[in-house]
Chains A and B, each alone.
Chain A
Amino acid sequence: QSALTQPASVSGSPGQSITISCTGTSSDVGTYNLVSWYQQHPGKAPKLIIYEVTKRPSGISNHFSGSKSGHTASLTISGLQAEDEADYYCCSFVTGNTYVFGTGTKVTVL
């Protein structure tokens, strides 16, 4: 299975909103509402921030939100903060009971 497609980088100023896209196929994003998003700071393990397209785990700020349309899922970060600067990965369940990650997006806070 091929990796989901994400933009390599996205940037924004503090307080702005940015959106990261995640495009898959009918074998993954297009069929299942089982898309999750992970934040990874340099040298650290990833952290779950969104699951089942729109849900936030306990303790995750509501300035992270998720959505999906067709074969593309999206992560929106509202009110961008310095600590949001990190790599972000989407992940989807795939037909056949495997998972596939996105290519990853580096978020820069200007």
Chain B
Amino acid sequence: EVQLVESGGGLIQPGESLRLSCTGSGFTFRSCAMSWVRQAPGKGLEWVSGIGYDGDTTHYADSVKGRLTISRDNSKTTLYLQINSLRAEDTAVYYCTKDGGSLIDTGRIENWGQGTLVTVST
């Protein structure tokens, strides 16, 4: 069974940085593209970043480009998302997701974690 477990969320002050982590199990992590999708409270889904199976290709939504960095450590089956200069509008549940292929080119998100809540506030 595919499992994706996020961690690292919490209450963060505006302007600070945060790193989210996601540990995958039950599948061949090193063969799969992965993405982060966020959902602000009461709002819709927003794809923010994706990474290819080997970490060599990374992609970002225009809305977050320059502030977010996605990375992965296949030896630890772990996906990361570094968010810098946090703003109130970054407040959301951040979902770790497994793509349907090895690159960000399928348009298919097969599996989702339960999400980790990031709240940006003073």
Contact = CB atoms under 8 A, between A and B. Distances in A.
A22 interface: no
A36 B59 contact: no
A34 B106 contact: yes
A74 B36 CA distance: 25
Chain B interface residue number, banded: 20 to 34
A66 interface: no
Interface residues of A, number: 28
Contacts of A100: 47, 61
Given A45-B112, A45-B114, A99-B35, A3 B105 contact: no
A9 interface: no
A46 B114 CA distance: 9
B100 to A, nearest CB: 7
Interface string A79-110: 00000000001011100111111111000000
B45 A101 contact: yes
A97 B103 CA distance: 9
Contacts of B106: 34, 51, 93
Interface in B90-122: 95, 100, 103-115
Interface of A: 1, 3, 32, 34-36, 38, 40, 45-48, 51-52, 57, 89, 91-93, 96-104
Interface of B: 35, 37, 44-47, 50, 57, 59-62, 95, 100, 103-115
